[in-house]
Amino acid sequence: MVEPGLIRLAQSGDRDALITLLREIETHVYRTAYYILNNEQDALDAAQEALIRIYTKIGSYEEKAQFKTWIQRIVTNICIDKFRRNKPTVSIDEHDMVFHEKQNVEDEVMSAYAVQDIRSAIDKLPEHHRAVVVLRYLQDFSYNEIADSLDLPLNTVKSYLFRARQQLQTLLHDYQKGGVRG
Amino acid sequence: MNCQEVMELMQRQLDNDLDENEREVLMSHTRQCPDCAAMFERLKLLSAELTSLPKVMPSYSLVDAIMPQLERIELHGQYEAAAEPDSSAKEDAPEILSRRTKRSRRFPSMRIMGGVIAAGIVAGLFLVTYPPSSSPDLGGLKLFSSSESDAKADKIASTSAQDTYSSASTSEVRTESMMRNNNDSKADAMNDLDEYSSKLGMDSSAPGNPNKGLPATKPIDKASSDNSSNASEGSGKQGLVEDPAAELNQSVSGKGLAASDSSVYSLNGQYYARAEGYTIKIYAAADQSLKFETTRKNGKPANLSWSEDSEQLTYEVQVEKGAIEKYVFDVLSGEDTKAAY
């Protein structure tokens, strides 16, 4: 997504290159913040903080890491810090994956979930589970890229993602059944 | 295969992580198990919905919005060297400031202390001539008492020398914090403080540091390298206060086990290495010339240690979230490689 040449220029002290680079990534940084924090104003603040940190720390980026995972690491760290200060979350079942309930299959009508429902369901996930979901679906990251960004072992990434999806599925299913639509 | 195992296959299928065989297992199970089939449908729906969440954009240009802050950062020099904000470091910063302010009130004038410094130097020279390790005869006893008074004199002298310097640095740091409003400012200020205090050799845990009696402009690396190559020559040249603590430091660094912020000597005495900010610099002991410098690391290098053949320097870098990366620097090849655990 960002040219390696541009990154090197930015690292060598070319300020214009660094500004260009920040412009290229600002949307990606913002999008992650938006879905982790579920609030536009917080996301704008967090994204700006992340961009400033990227600006000051560009020299510490090493090419052995992917640039996109390096920037997502910065923004998710900032968001998770903010998030910890702001709100409590429901605990997620950390034990082995099980079916939460015997699903009632018979006359289930599959219909699209409302975006608002999905966002509020994501908002109920614990911070790291949420970050994994956001990187997987909003940044289209692989398991490995998520692991690099969040500094988590690969297996942890998978289990967070799987549990998160299961939890989301359960929550959304409940919304549909209860007709509680946003 | 039970439903729970199939659940994992479903999940991995959503991420296109299954091979042909696994996919076959999943499909044959869902054909027979309506519960799993329904669950898989719901998960696929969820995954599709997550994929199509709106690709939101910021309502204004974030880079334009932070431009004034970026310009202020630029004005105040290169702050990318700042440490990763460390909560413990942040908490220390105000404490250091207040400690320094207190000192400058107590010892306002350096001139008054001039005589005390001179007394310290005399006592120090005496100590160098008669090392404290000498046998406990009458001379040794005398020496012991004078070394005590020396330690006091040295402490007072060094405190006053620091004061002139620290009052300047304190105000500078404060101005910077006021002008820069982002989160890193505290860490930056802390970093500046670190630099100042290391220049000053200001470390309350080692009150006998020989650099303390010196004018603050004297570079610490020169002093410490002189110490190791020839203690008496080094101290004679600089008119230093020498004391047992300094000798202890010296012998420790000789073994390559010195504290993180001081020089670590190779066993053959040819090189010494020192962590400076985010890099390690390796100097030739003979002429103190810089021989190697490693690339910038993601954290501050620590735990420097030389191999027995003096050819490799191993060190650790503390990166984010407490993780530690281990590196080996080879002085023959000049290669800096990340070591496996």
Q: What is the CATH number of the domain that holds A178?
A: 1.10.10.10
A56, A71, A86: which is the final residue of a domain? A86
A69, A115: one domain? no
Q: Pick from A40-44, B246-250, B313-317 the range whose average pLDDT is largest.
A: A40-44
Q: Domain span at residue A181? A: 89-182
The pLDDT tens digits for A46-65 are: 999 999 999 999 999 998 89
Cβ burial, residue A162 (10 Å; 0-12/13-18/19+): buried
The least confident of A6-10, B66-70, B220-224 is B220-224
What pLDDT, on a 0 to 100 scale, did the predictor assign at position A86?
62
CATH number for the segment(s) B256-341: 2.40.10
Measured at the CA of A89, the angle between CA A86 and CA A93, to 5 degrees, comes to 155
- End-of-domain residue from the set A86, A121, A138: A86
* Residue B174: predicted pLDDT: 44
Q: How many domains does chain A have?
A: 2
The residue of chain A with its CA nearest to that of B79 is: A56
- CATH code, domain with A71: 1.10.1740.10
Q: Chain B within 8 Å of A71 (Cβ-Cβ)?
A: no
- In contact, A172 and A117? CB cutoff 8 Å: yes
Q: Examine the domain organization and report whether A142 and A65 are in the same domain.
A: no
- The phi, psi pair for B13, rounded to 5°, reads -60, -35
Residues A16 and A78 in one domain: yes
Torsion angles phi and psi, residue B33, rounded to 5: -115, 100
Q: Which of residues 246-265 of B touch A (CB under 8 A)?
A: none
pLDDT for residue A45 is more than 80:
yes
Distance from CA of A6 to the nearest CA of B (A): 17
Q: Do A175 and A93 share a structural domain?
A: yes
Instruction: Give the other-Cβ count within 10 Å of B101's Cβ.
Output: 14
Q: What does the block give as tokens for A77?
A: 């760290």
Q: Identify which of B223, B215, B219, B277 has the alpha carbon closest to the alpha carbon of residue B250.
A: B223
Check whether residue A93 and residue A155 sit in a common domain: yes
* CB pair distance less than 8 Å for B66 and A53: no
Could you tell me what percent of chain B has a pLDDT over 70?
44
- B197-215 pLDDT tens trace: 444 444 444 444 444 444 4
A59-80 mean pLDDT: 94
Question: Does A100 share its domain with A180?
Answer: yes
**Is A26's CB within 8 Å of B70's CB?**
no
Q: Would the pLDDT of A150 be above 50?
A: yes
Per-residue pLDDT, B317: 82
A positions 5-64 inside 8 Å of B (CB): 15, 19, 22-23, 26-27, 29-31, 34-35, 40, 43-44, 47-49, 51-53, 55-60, 62
> For chain B, what are the domain ranges?
3-51, 84-254, 256-341
pLDDT tens by residue, B59-103: 999 999 999 999 998 887 654 444 444 444 333 334 344 444 444
Burial A50-59 (b: 16+ CB within 10 A, else e): bbbbbbbbbb
Q: Enter the tokens of residue A26.
A: 């600002």
Residues A80 and A100 both lie in one domain: no
Let me know how many helices (H) and strands (E) chain A has, helices first: 8, 0
Say whether both A55 and A82 belong to one domain: yes
Other Cβ atoms less than 10 A from the Cβ of B8: the count is: 16
Between these two residues, A181 and A72, which has the higher pLDDT value?
Answer: A72
* Most trustworthy range by pLDDT among A118-132, B148-162, B245-259: A118-132
Residue of A73, A138, A168 with shortest CB distance to B46: A168
Taking the CB of residue B261, how many other CB atoms lie within 10 A of it?
Answer: 15
Long-range contacts of A86-90 (CB under 8 A, 24+ apart): A86/A37, A86/A42, A89/A124, A89/A125, A89/A126, A89/A127, A90/A124, A90/A126
Ranking A144-148, B115-119, B279-283 by mean pLDDT, the lowest is B115-119
> Which position has the higher pLDDT, B49 or B237?
B49
Q: Which residues of B touch A53 (CB under 8 A)?
A: 183-184
End-to-end CA distance of chain B: 37
Domain boundary among A56, A86, A116: A86
CA distance B298 to B320: 8
Nearest-CA neighbor of B62 among A154, A95, A47?
A47
